[in-house]
């Protein structure tokens, strides 16, 4: 028996999704959207993406297969963006809008309300922001969180469970996997010997990620693990202040700021330990990439991180802002190759079994289909408490 062709509410053979991305800096959220666009089945979905301006993210989305449009997305949406978005939705036959970050959520909520299209907003942070909650209540948007911590927070602030889901982030475990042998390109670039231990931080250099905690931990590692060097992969508003902190602590020869790294599998292959020092986090993509790459991790016990890291088995969980605990855990791992290998293998197994990207994409695709098919029912559920 043949499978009937899937028809969208607009009458087209494929569901047309408009992805609204509220940021232009390539990071975990942006990589998630690009992976989603690339993996949504072409026989079921067509994707248009809206970015606030032309940037690395817009190029990444084009490469993933999306038709990219520019819509400015300030915190207070511009009428010109609302008008252009409504025209885009109607002219292109968009069936459902999918927003990422509060500014994109607000814009999508207004466009969806005016054009009569359902809106899904994925909450990538640890908690809903006030503007997310306002958009949800005013326009009946559907919310999807990426970890249990965020899901229960949403319930706690009054989101109706009928308008809420939890779809954990996923990682491509084929792209990110342990290296057959450790390459030495990064060590050669930094003029280090092949046996120099490397400890890595991967993330945006912004306050919530706590990169200054990583630098202060490096200060202690100078004594606890004298041979170790630390690398920071990422960029952001704290870069200059980090450079100043590194200089003040006299760590110029031990802490290396690499900037944005494009070949992330290669970076993970050259690390011995991966560290997350975030003060606030949901379920970070870099954490799952490191685990899938077979690295032992040291991570702060925030948000959805404890859902991913088994304390003492695939890594160590430490309190946020505690650089002494970070340094102690890293030094312990560097002192035991056997423990690093055991924890890395356990993390890899956990990533393969529970963090696969295909499951994340499939569940998101099904949710988009459900929203497009039953927008009125779900919108009433989402706005039930706003009246």
Mean pLDDT of 132-145: 96
pLDDT at 195: 92
Long-range CB contacts (within 8 A, 24+) of 366-370:
367/120, 367/142, 367/144, 367/165, 367/167, 368/15, 368/17, 368/45, 368/96, 368/98, 368/120, 369/6, 369/15, 369/44
Class for domain 15-170+357-382, per CATH?
Answer: alpha beta
Q: Which two tokens stand for residue 221?
A: 């590692």
Question: What is the band of 27 on the pLDDT scale with cuts at 50, 70, 90?
Answer: confident
As its CATH architecture, domain 185-354 has 3-Layer(aba) Sandwich (3.40)
- Res. 381: pLDDT tops 70: no
pLDDT at 23: 85
- Given a contact cutoff of 8 angstroms between Cβ atoms, the answer to whether 98 and 368 are in contact is yes
Tell me the pLDDT tens digit for each residue of 161-211: 999 999 999 999 999 999 877 767 899 999 999 999 999 999 999 999 999
Percentage of the chain with pLDDT > 90? 85
pLDDT at 8: 57
pLDDT at 109: 97
Distance CA 204, CA 169 (A): 18
- Res. 382: pLDDT tops 60: no
Percentage of the chain with pLDDT > 70? 93
pLDDT at 5: 41
Question: What is the band of 387 on the pLDDT scale with cuts at 50, 70, 90?
Answer: very low
Domains 15-170+357-382 and 185-354 share a fold: yes
> Which sequence spans correspond to the domains of the chain?
15-170+357-382, 185-354
pLDDT at 10: 54
Tell me the pLDDT tens digit for each residue of 288-313: 999 999 999 999 999 999 999 999 99
């Amino acid at each position: 028996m043949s499978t009937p062709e899937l028809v969208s509410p607009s009458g087209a053979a494929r569901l047309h999704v408009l992805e609204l991305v509220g940021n232009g800096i390539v990071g975990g959220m942006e990589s998630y959207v690009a992976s989603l666009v690339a993996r949504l089945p072409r026989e079921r979905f067509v994707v248009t993406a809206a970015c606030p301006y032309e940037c690395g993210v817009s190029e990444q989305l084009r490469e993933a297969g999306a038709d990219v449009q520019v819509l400015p997305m300030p915190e207070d949406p511009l009428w010109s963006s609302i008008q252009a978005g409504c025209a885009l939705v109607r002219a292109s036959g968009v069936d459902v809008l999918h927003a990422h970050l509060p500014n994109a959520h607000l814009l999508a909520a207004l466009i969806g309300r005016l054009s009569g299209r359902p809106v899904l907003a994925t909450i990538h942070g640890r908690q809903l922001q006030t503007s997310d909650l306002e958009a949800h209540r005013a326009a009946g948007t559907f919310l999807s969180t990426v970890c249990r911590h965020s899901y229960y927070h949403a319930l706690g602030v009054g989101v109706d469970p009928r308008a809420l889901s939890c779809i954990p982030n996923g990682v491509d475990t084929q792209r990110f996997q342990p290296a057959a042998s450790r390459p030495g390109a990064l060590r050669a670039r930094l003029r280090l010997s092949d046996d120099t231990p490397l400890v890595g931080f991967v993330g945006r250099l912004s306050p919530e990620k706590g990169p200054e905690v990583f630098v202060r931990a490096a200060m202690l590692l100078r004594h606890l693990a004298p041979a170790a060097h630390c690398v920071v992969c990422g960029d952001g508003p704290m870069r200059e202040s980090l450079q100043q902190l590194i200089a003040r602590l006299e760590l110029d020869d031990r802490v290396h700021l690499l900037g944005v790294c494009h070949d992330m599998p290669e970076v993970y292959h050259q690390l011995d330990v991966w560290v997350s020092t975030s003060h606030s986090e949901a379920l970070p993509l870099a954490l799952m990439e490191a685990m899938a790459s077979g690295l032992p991790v040291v991570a702060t016990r925030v948000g959805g991180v404890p859902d991913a890291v088994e304390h003492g088995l695939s890594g160590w969980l430490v309190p946020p802002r505690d650089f002494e605990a970070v340094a102690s855990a890293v030094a312990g791992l560097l002192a035991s190759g056997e423990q690093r290998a055991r924890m890395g293998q356990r993390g890899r197994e956990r990533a393969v079994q529970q963090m696969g990207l295909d499951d994340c994409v499939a569940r998101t695709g099904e949710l988009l289909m459900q929203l497009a098919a039953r927008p009125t029912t779900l919108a009433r559920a989402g706005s039930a408490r706003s009246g």
